[in-house]
Amino acid sequence: MKKAYTLIAGLALVAALASCDRIAEFKSYPFVRLQDGTTSYSVNEDVGKLTIPVTSYDNENGSGSVTFEVVDPKGAKGTAFTVEPSSGVLNFTGNQTQNITVTVKNNEGVYTGNVAFQIKFTGVSGDLTMGAPNALNVTIVDKDIPVTWDYVEDIWEAQDYTLAGAKDGDPYHAQIKKVDDTHLKLINLWGGEEALDGTITFDAATNTAEILFDARQVVMDASSYGYGNLILLGQNDAGSWAFSPVKAKVTAEGITIGPWNMLITAGENANYLWDNSGYNTVLTK
């Protein structure tokens, strides 16, 4: 269950020298790392090329090499993607950025499944030391995944976004269960473990589906916080929060639910919105 909380963080640093005669010396060692600190990429199969920058730092007068390998559990290298340099070696002189390039094959119209692999540094030589991060997980998303019940009925990773685009909390999991050919239950939309009833319509021509969740359903029992139940709201045609159905769009890339909001049913804030800005929820695998 999601909870409202305040996080207070502090950082204290205390340094002292044993005597006035001692001199504090700091030495910087040349190192190499993935440039922007990214540890994972998820790209569509039509991305073309993915460029991964690798940079050496504090290496003005030095040189060296870094070696890397491709950890490929499905054996898709060479058919779904290629990696350059194929030698698995990057050479650096001074402070440089070298690129690892992943070329993705687009099997448009053919479902081959998602491909996941890892590019992992295996060693350094010369003046360089290994920095972090030094491994990158890459997922190539097959946009031709059939949007059927086999795809929809699953446990999904969920992430909330306010309508302004900011993330709300850490990823969690939501589950979709099939009831019959046109009905389903969505469990744990907002971390409250409640089940929402929805109707689903598949469109084979566009490989998409639409889900409608009726308003007034309980998203979370918030009685322990003094709010009673938080019940589902959608937006009407004028864009105002109302007892209107909440729509969800299903594609091969995931499910987007919203915009949606919640109405507080009890306590001093009864009949007020939980958050005026509302939410979108994105489900991915």
Alpha carbons 135 and 154: distance in angstroms, whole number:
29
Quick one: which of 49, 250, 251, 48 has its CA closest to 143? 251
Domain ranges of the chain: 31-141, 149-284
Quick one: which of 101, 87, 98 has its CA closest to 41? 101
Residue 281 three-state SS: strand
Quick one: which of 281, 254, 248, 245 has its CA closest to 154? 254
Is the pLDDT at 263 greater than 60? The verdict is: yes
Strand ranges inside 163-278, DSSP E = 167-178, 183-187, 195-203, 208-213, 218-221, 229-235, 241-242, 246-251, 254-264
- In sequence order, what are the residues at sequence separation of 6 or more whose Cβ sits closer than 8 angstroms to the Cβ of residue 95? 55, 56, 57, 58, 59, 60
How many CB atoms sit inside 10 A of residue 12's CB?
A: 4
Helices (H) and strands (E) in the chain, counts: 1, 21
How many CB atoms sit inside 10 A of residue 105's CB?
A: 17
Instruction: Please state the pTM of the whole predicted model.
Output: 0.60
Q: What are the backbone dihedrals phi and psi of residue 64, each rounded to the nearest 5 degrees, phi first? A: 170, 180
Looking at residue 29, its pLDDT comes to 54
User: Across residues 147-155, what is the average pLDDT?
Assistant: 97
Residue 199 three-state SS: strand
- Cis preceding-peptide flag for 171 (omega within 30 of 0): no
CB 248 within 8 A of CB 235: no
- In whole angstroms, what separates CA 138 from the centre of its chain? 12
Q: Which CATH class is domain 149-284?
A: mainly beta
Q: What are the backbone dihedrals phi and psi of residue 184, each rounded to the nearest 5 degrees, phi first? A: -150, 170
Which pLDDT tens digit goes with each residue over 216-258? 999 999 999 999 999 999 999 999 999 999 999 999 889 999 9
Which pLDDT tens digit goes with each residue over 22-73? 444 444 456 767 666 778 888 889 999 999 999 888 888 889 999 999 999 9
Indicate the CATH number of 31-141 among 3.60.150.10, 3.40.50.920, 3.30.70.380, 2.60.40.2030: 2.60.40.2030
Is the pLDDT at 12 greater than 80? The verdict is: no
Is the pLDDT at 150 greater than 60? The verdict is: yes
